[in-house]
């Protein structure tokens, strides 16, 4: 299998391969939506931002979820709101009241859950941050959504609301669990309580902008593959998704058996690392004095790198 072949396969065949090789759990925080909305719908952004933003970004969310599920991803974790969003101004607060329940009560979302047979949970510390605030009504909406989709079996979708730090919630659960059972909860029981049901460790994280993985507590193990789009998350399309899935399933699965390295292999590796001694993935620059950040190219293609000057300025003779 090579990338060109993978890109040309029917979607159903890609889904079969993904189910065989993973990812089984994908974390995809959909970020940069306001930038995407203003760039793609300038008229709507000027005329009725709050209403049109929810409608059009909501439709894009659904299309992205459908694309991921169609390609064989069965469990999707998507952080959507953090506590910092609750601290913004009054105008943003009014939009937040609708946004917090949009995915739980909008007819298009509910139709999608039914059509794709998606079981939905909201994870995080929503109770702690929303109770007693103007957003408290969202808590009942989340309970209703979990009950409404409880019988769905094909896919799972976990929305993160204030899912950044599980410490206090896990501690409270552990104390109550011990009082009731006389023993400490297992890892599986803790995860099931926090997320609404058990989730395996994360296989794949797809972020945007400056590399940072977040809001996947208890299921991040350090072995997940991290990818970061340069364009906002709503621009994810089938080609980009398939490229990520191919890399995850095939390209990164390199068996590091150094016993099979020849002297030429070691020499090639040395030249590559020498050419990139000052290269760091994640380094970027600021456009026009700080208007936005963008990543800068750090890596030559392998053939170019192997023939590049050494980092110390001397040409490699290895």
Tokens of 192: 């099931």
In terms of Cβ atoms closer than 10 Å to its own Cβ (0-12, 13-18, 19+), residue 1 is: exposed
Claim to verify: residue 92 and residue 112 sit in the same structural domain: yes
Classify residue 95: in a domain, yes or no.
Answer: yes
- DSSP characters over 249-295: IIIT-----GGG--HHHHHHHHHHHHHTTT--TT-EEEETTTTEEEE
| 59, 103: one domain | yes
Shared domain check, 144 and 269: no
- Per-residue burial over 44-57, b if 16 or more Cβ lie within 10 Å, else e, is bbeeebeebbbbbb
Q: Which domain holds residue 301?
A: 262-306
Same domain, 143 and 270: no
Asked if residue 243 and residue 286 are part of one domain, the reply reads no
Shared domain for 76 and 197, answered yes or no, is yes
Domain's final residue, options 209, 226, 251 = 251
Please tell me whether residues 266 and 222 are part of one structural domain.
no
Give the model's pLDDT for residue 1. 84
- Specify the pTM: 0.91
Whether 198 maps to a domain, the answer reads: yes
Q: What is the pLDDT of residues 155-200, one digit of tens each?
A: 999 999 999 999 999 999 999 999 999 999 999 999 999 999 999 9
The set of long-range contacts for 276-284, using a CB threshold of 8 Å and a minimum separation of 24, is: 276/300, 276/305, 276/311, 277/310, 277/311, 278/311, 281/211, 282/210, 282/211, 284/210
How many domains are contained in the chain?
Answer: 2
Confidence (pLDDT) at 315? 46
The alpha carbon dihedral of 232, 99, 78, 163 has a sign of positive
Tens of pLDDT, residues 197-230: 999 999 999 999 999 999 999 999 999 999 999 9
At residue 21 the predicted structure's pLDDT band, cuts being 50, 70 and 90, is confident
H or E stretch including 86?
Answer: none
Sign of CA dihedral 304, 305, 310, 312: positive
Report residue 185 as tokens.
């909860």
User: Is residue 110 classed as helix, strand or coil in its secondary structure?
Assistant: helix
Cα–Cα distances in Å, from 77 out to 7, 122, 259? 24, 10, 39
Residue 312 has pLDDT above 80, yes or no: no
- The predicted pLDDT at position 192 comes to 98
Same domain, 187 and 271: no
Contact 126, 194 (CB under 8 A): no
Q: Tell me, what's the pLDDT at 96?
A: 81
Residue 223: alpha-carbon gap to chain centroid: 15
| Whether residue 236 is found in the same domain as residue 289 | no
Give the whole-number percent of the chain exceeding pLDDT 70: 92
The residue from 207, 224, 251 where one domain ends is: 251
Q: Answer yes or no: do 267 and 240 share one domain.
A: no
305 pLDDT band, cuts 50/70/90, is: low
The string of DSSP letters for 202-216 reads P-EEEEESS----S-
| Parallel/antiparallel/unpaired status of strands 284-287 and 292-295 | antiparallel
Examine residue 30 and state whether it is found in any structural domain, yes or no: yes
User: How does residue 257 score in pLDDT terms, banded at 50, 70 and 90?
Assistant: confident
């Amino acid at each position: 299998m090579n990338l060109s072949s993978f890109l040309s396969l029917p979607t159903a065949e890609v889904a079969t391969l993904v189910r065989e090789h993973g990812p089984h759990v994908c974390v995809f925080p959909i970020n940069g939506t306001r930038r995407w909305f203003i760039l793609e719908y300038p008229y709507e952004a000027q005329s009725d931002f709050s209403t049109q933003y929810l409608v059009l970004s909501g439709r894009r969310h659904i299309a992205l979820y459908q694309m991921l599920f169609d390609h064989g991803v069965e469990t999707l974790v998507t952080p959507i709101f953090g506590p910092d969003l609750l601290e913004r101004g009054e105008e943003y607060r009014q939009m937040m009241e609708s946004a917090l329940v949009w995915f739980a009560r909008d007819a298009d979302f509910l139709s999608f859950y039914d059509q794709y047979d998606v079981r939905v949970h909201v994870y995080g510390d929503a109770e702690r941050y929303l109770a007693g605030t103007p957003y408290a009504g969202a808590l009942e909406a989340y309970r209703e959504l979990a009950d409404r989709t409880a019988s769905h079996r094909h896919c799972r979708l976990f929305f993160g609301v204030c899912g950044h730090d599980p410490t206090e919630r896990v501690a409270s659960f552990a104390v109550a669990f011990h009082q009731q059972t006389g023993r400490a909860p297992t890892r599986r029981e803790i995860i099931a309580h926090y997320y609404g049901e058990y989730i395996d460790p994360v296989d794949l994280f797809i972020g945007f902008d400056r590399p940072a993985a977040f809001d996947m507590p208890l299921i991040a193990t350090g072995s997940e593959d991290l990818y970061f789009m340069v364009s906002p998350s709503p621009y994810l399309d089938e080609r980009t998704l398939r490229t990520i899935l191919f890399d995850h399933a095939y390209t990164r699965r390199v068996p590091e058996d150094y016993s099979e390295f020849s002297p030429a292999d070691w020499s090639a590796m040395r030249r590559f690392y020498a050419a990139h001694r000052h290269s760091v993935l994640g380094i970027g620059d600021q456009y026009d004095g700080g208007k936005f950040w963008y990543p800068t190219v750090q890596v030559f293609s392998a053939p170019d790198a192997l023939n590049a000057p050494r980092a110390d300025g001397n040409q490699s003779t290895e």
